[in-house]
Each structure stands twice: as structure tokens, then as C-alpha cells.
Amino acid sequence: MPVKASKKRAARTAAVRRTRDEHAQETAQDYVELIAELIAGSGEARAIDLARRFGVTHVTVGRTIQRLQREGFVTTQPYRSIFLTAAGRRLARESRRRHEIVVAFLRSLGVSESIAQSDAEGIEHHVSAETLQAFVKDLRRQKRSRGRGR
Amino acid sequence: MPVKASKKRAARTAAVRRTRDEHAQETAQDYVELIAELIAGSGEARAIDLARRFGVTHVTVGRTIQRLQREGFVTTQPYRSIFLTAAGRRLARESRRRHEIVVAFLRSLGVSESIAQSDAEGIEHHVSAETLQAFVKDLRRQKRSRGRGR
DNA sequence: TCATAAATGTAGCAACAGCTACATTTTGAT
DNA sequence: ATCAAAATGTAGCTGTTGCTACATTTATGA
């Protein structure tokens, strides 16, 4: 029989990868990240902006926002724009940090800006803390190396 | 209105990321990769082996195998084990190459073997050709550097 | 052989993320 | 103020990937 199925859905083993839940978590990060950006930029985050940026219809965005609200990352009211909760802001901050580290690291390898950006969007969700730390460490190494070199 | 919706589902723009289709493609790669491993190792690939390795039930595996058969990557018959088509073998070969490059690269940064393996499983599906090439290039650079160093 | 275990198949449910079509509310321009 | 456009909501469909429960087939050991 399958390894898990122990309680209900508690205590997921590491073996269960790329599940619905994981994917949903990635979506959550993408959403809060963009919502934070939009609020920082134009003062508010509207569903239509998210839809355009993600290339999906407003229906998909609406349903995802409902879920994020249920999960406590955002708040919104009918026909109103979207706000982040404290948990949402925290998640957005963490996501952004990861994103920036991945982009900077790829750039340091000579990857072009646009490719670094788009690859980072996919990669950032699958980088463990250990690997992220290795990226940071390597960026520092490169900086030292450049410092000595010049 | 949404950017696409032009024909039916032709000409996807780059804006449409992380869609059903993409995710399905990742799953396809994971499956053919493991099927190839199993065949190479024990001579045959059974659904139960896939189920155990992915940590899902045999039902999920069975349905995915149906899809892969529909898409021309595998062949199978009721109550029989699974075989790769030429297309399936090609996909498995490419997936394995990407996987190995990513693992080698992460290892070269000092990431532990087990973390490198598990991170690679997620990352390999989101690395563009350009980034993969940058990994290869950096691995070569490191090799040269070590050669000179010693 | 033959009974049982293991593997696979089928039925039917849930959640997520897409979509179109249509309804409702807000916003903005005249 | 009003009317049209833009934005959001709702209904209902599809496809993918999970699951449990139960049926069927294959493999195995006594």
C-alpha cells in the first residue's frame, strides 16, 4: 500500500512532490508577489491587472483570490480591489527575496536579463533553503573575486 | 480582453505560464524519466513501481499512463507493464540530461547530494536552454580553474 | 491445482485552474 | 445625471491529478 495514508492529510512525507497543494502554494506566491508590486506601484491591486499580467481571464483570478482570502493571505470585498494581510505581506516579502536572489545569481552566470527573469519565476519555487544559501554564497565569492581581480 | 484566445489553443504566447499544459508536460517528463530508469534497472516498468516512487496511488499512475499513451510517449496493455515509444525514449533522454546537468551544477556550488537531487527535480523543468548552457559553461570554468589551481 | 496475495482496472468523488457566456456593479465621459 | 464601457461576479463546462472503494486479472506458494 502507499507509504502515507496514515492519518488524514497530516504529516506528508517528503516523497509526495509536485502535488496539487504544492502547485497551489506556488500560485499563492506568484499572486501575493504581484499584488505587492501593484500596490507599491500604483497604490492598488485590481483583479484585471493580475489577469493581464498572468495572461488568464478575470474569472480565474477571481477564483484564486477567493482561495487566497480563505487561506488568509488577502482581503477583498465585492467589486473592490485586493489587499494583503500581514501573512500575505510576509509571503510576498519572502517570495520577492527568493526571486531576486535567483535572478541575480543567473545574471552572474551570464544569463540575459529577460531569460533570468522568466526562468527565475519557475525556479524560485523549487529552490530549497540550502540551495538558495549556496547561491548567496557564490554571489559573495564572485564579488570578492572581482574585488581582488581589478 | 485576454491577450490570446486567437484561434483555439494554437500560438500560446509566452505570457501564459504555469498552465495545465505545462504542468502536464512536467509530469510527462518525470514519468518517462522514471520508466526509462526502471526498464534499465529491472528490465520492466510496472505501475506499482511508479506509484511507490512518486508517492501516489496506482490509480493516479494508471490515469497518467493512459494520457501518456494517448500522447504517444508510452505503450501498454491491460495488466501489462509499460514501454516507451521512440518519442518517449527521446523525451526521457533529454530529461535525464537536464537533470544531470542541474544536479552536477548544484553539487559544484556545495549543495549536498540529496538536496541537489530533490531540488533538481523541481528546477529541471524550469530551466531554459540558455540557462542550462550557462550551467554547463560554469562547470567547465570550474574544471579549468581547478586544473590551474592544483 | 488452487487459494490467496499482488497488481491493475473501473467508478465516482474532490480541488485546482483554465475557459465562455452572461449578469451586475463601478467608473468615467458627455 | 445618464449612459456606455470597464471591471467584477456567477453559472457551468473541461482537463489534470489526487483520493477511496470495489472489481478483475495475474502471479505465487502451499
DSSP code of residue A128:
-
Q: Residue A55 and residue B15: Cβ atoms within 8 Å?
A: yes
Condensed to tens digits (0 to 9), the pLDDT of residues A97-120 reads 999 999 999 999 999 999 999 999
Mean pLDDT across B34-54: 95
Q: Residue A18 and residue B26: Cβ atoms within 8 Å?
A: yes
Q: Residue B126 and residue A127: Cβ atoms within 8 Å?
A: no
The spacing between the Cα labelled CA in B57 and the C1' in D23, in angstroms, equals 17
Q: How far is CA A109 from the centre of its chain?
A: 22
* CA contacts within 13 A on the Cβ side of B77: 0
The Cα of A32 is separated from the nearest Cα of chain B by a number of Å equal to 16
pLDDT value at residue A18: 53
Q: Are B82 and B46 in contact (CB under 8 A)?
A: yes
**In the block, residue with C-alpha cell 498572468:** A54
Q: In whole angstroms, what is the distance from residue B53 CA to residue A115 CA?
A: 33
Question: By mean pLDDT, which of A72-86, B14-28, B107-121 is the weakest?
Answer: B14-28
Type of residue found at B72? G
Between the ranges A18-22, A24-28, B47-51, where is the mean pLDDT highest? B47-51
Q: Residue A131 and residue B119: Cβ atoms within 8 Å?
A: yes
- In this model, does residue A16 exceed pLDDT 80? no
Best A109, A117, A124 residue to mutate vs chain B (most B CBs within 10 Å): A109
The spacing between the Cα labelled CA in B57 and the C1' in C10, in angstroms, equals 14
Q: In whole angstroms, what is the distance from residue A92 CA to residue A86 CA?
A: 10
pLDDT value at residue B19: 63
Between the ranges A13-27, A74-88, B23-37, where is the mean pLDDT highest? A74-88
The more confident residue out of B21 and B36 is: B36
Q: Could you tell me the end-to-end alpha-carbon distance of chain A, in angstroms, rounded to an integer?
A: 61
pLDDT value at residue B20: 67
Q: Collapse the DSSP code of B83 into the 3-class scheme (helix H, G, I; strand E, B; otherwise coil) and give the result.
A: strand
- Burial pattern A17-38, b for ≥16 Cβ within 10 A else e, equals bbeeeeeeebbbbbbbbbbbeb
pLDDT value at residue B150: 67
Give the nearest chain B residue to A133 (CA atoms).
B111
Helix (H) or strand (E) segment spanning residue B90:
helix B86-108
**Main-chain dihedrals φ then ψ at residue B103, nearest 5 degrees:** -60, -50
Nearest residue by alpha-carbon distance to C1' of C10: B59
CA distances from B44 to A137, B36, B75, B76 (A): 43, 9, 12, 11
DSSP code of residue A45:
B
- Which nt sits closest to A76, CA to C1'? D8
Mean pLDDT across B25-38: 93
Residue % of chain B over a pLDDT of 70: 86
Banded pLDDT at B8 (limits 50, 70, 90): very low
Banded pLDDT at A25 (limits 50, 70, 90): confident
Question: By mean pLDDT, which of B4-13, B25-34, B119-128 is the weakest?
Answer: B4-13
Q: Residue B131 and residue A116: Cβ atoms within 8 Å?
A: yes
According to DSSP, the β-strands at B74-75 and A74-75 are unpaired
- In this model, does residue A149 exceed pLDDT 80? no
Q: Which nucleotides of C are covered by protein (CB under 7 A)?
A: 6-12, 15-21, 25-26
Those residues whose C-beta lies under 8 Å from the C-beta of residue B142, and which sit 6 or more positions away, are: B108
pTM for the model stands at: 0.84
The spacing between the Cα labelled CA in A79 and the C1' in D3, in angstroms, equals 20
pLDDT value at residue B12: 31
Q: Are B103 and B60 in contact (CB under 8 A)?
A: no
CB-strand contact A70/D, under 7 Å: no
- In this model, does residue A6 exceed pLDDT 70? no
Type of residue found at A18? R
